Amino acid sequence: MRVESTITSISWIPSEAVGGYTKPAFTVGLTHYDDPPPDAINDLDALRDADRFRFANRLTVWAEFDGDRVTGHGAGGGLVMGATTVRLGPLGVTFAALGLPDLRPEPQMGDGWIRFTQTAGGRTALPFPRRIARPPYLRLQSPLVWTTLSVTLYADGRAEAMLEGASPFPRHWVYGPDHRLTMKAGLTDFAAWATQEGPARTPWGDEDSPVLVTAAETALERELSLLIMRGGARPLIRSLPAGSCLVRQGEPGSSLFLLLDGVLGVDVDGRSLPELGPGAILGERAVLEGGTRTATLTALTPIRVAEAPAESVDREALTRLAQGHHREDQLT
């Protein structure tokens, strides 16, 4: 029996993800944040040519099984490196990025399964000055970026894909064998990434970085997130440490929240609902149902949220969003 599958990660810089002395380059338009990638990848090369992502990692695998024994296998794909466009007035210059060799160790095997792993990445296109912890304390070189993907194939035809590790920046989205968005890295940490001293603490040295993986939000939330971030009045960007309460059930409130980074816990009447990751839009029920918060939202990790007035999204869209959530039906 032949079993095949594929997994692709796309890495991009979302709005308000950059801080510190590098942020002005984005706010004045010298370089740019990225629009969210599409819900489905129809043409990865076309996305790259349109400067829609910084890099991608594509892993395609197959295996032949005779009962529980693997009789043949193979893997392909690898790094698809993007570019960075820098603008000075009406002029734009595009810098190519530097890819590093793909890391694809020999697959692991067991009775009825085989697991493939691949790390791909490199150095982003535009060098920038950043502080490091040892002399000369300043480096004019961009840090390394990467993702580590795995796919496990089973003799019964199943395939399981996972984001195993990733650089702490930028944002990483993962697409499954149907080429649709299926999971994402839940956290970005620009400060930790910017202080990377070299390849030693990367997969090209001696370690990977663990990654917090969250489920993808709905397509409607991705559509509405663009309205909140770029459709009109600038939202208020808030950062909260882990353990902080964003809103409490029963409190008055009429604003919307877009979770930009991190993971939120949701509690209704003392019972926990599934956790929420980046891209989730919250607060729509308070807008639609009289201005009272219907759940308590607690930061399970450090988070960044965009808070926007209710009128930034039309009520029909909010109604559709509320109907699609039904989070109370998922009580655990």
pLDDT at residue 25, as a whole number? 44
What would the pLDDT profile of 131-176 be if each residue is shown by its tens digit? 566 665 555 567 889 999 999 999 999 999 999 999 999 999 999 9
Looking at the structure, tell me whether residues 129 and 249 fall in a common domain.
no
Higher per-residue confidence, 201 vs 177: 177
Q: Does 112 share its domain with 236?
A: no
Q: What is the mean pLDDT of residues 6-29?
A: 69
pLDDT of 225 > 80? The answer is yes
Q: How many CA atoms does the CB half-sphere of 206 hold within 13 Å?
A: 1
Total domains present in the chain: 2
In a shared domain, residues 209 and 235:
no
**Position with higher pLDDT, 270 vs 218:** 270
CA–CA–CA angle 124, 125, 126 (5° rounding): 105
Query: What contacts 329, CB < 8 A, 6 or more positions away?
Result: none
Q: Are residues 323 and 228 in the same domain?
A: yes
* 149 and 242 part of one domain: no
Same domain, 161 and 302: no
Nearest C-alpha neighbor of 152 from the set 41, 75, 71: 75
26 has pLDDT over 80: no
Among 215, 241, 272, the domain boundary falls at 215
pLDDT at 125: 60
Q: Are residues 70 and 7 in the same domain?
A: yes
Give the per-residue pLDDT at 65: 98
Mean pLDDT of the chain: 85
pLDDT in tens, 91-119: 555 556 688 999 999 999 999 999 999 99
Residue 127 has pLDDT above 70, yes or no: no
Q: Which pLDDT value is given to residue 131? A: 58
Distance CA 195, CA 143 (A): 8
Q: What is the pLDDT of residue 7?
A: 97
pLDDT in tens, 289-316: 888 999 999 999 999 999 998 888 888 8
Could you tell me if 288 and 151 lie in one domain? no
pLDDT tops 80 at residue 70: yes
Q: What is the pLDDT of residue 57?
A: 97
pTM over 0.85: no
In whole angstroms, what is the distance from residue 208 CA to residue 162 CA?
A: 15
For residue 98, give the nearest of 124, 117, 80, 131 by alpha carbon.
124
Enclosing domain of residue 246: 219-330
Judge whether residue 130 has pLDDT over 70.
Answer: no
Residues 211 and 243 in one domain: no
| 200, 263: one domain | no
Same domain? 181 vs 164: yes
CATH number at residue 272: 2.60.120.10
The domain boundary, picked from 185, 215, 245, lies at 215
What pLDDT, in 10s, does the model give residues 181-220?
Answer: 999 999 888 888 877 877 888 999 988 888 999 988 888 8
Whether 154 and 13 share a structural domain? yes
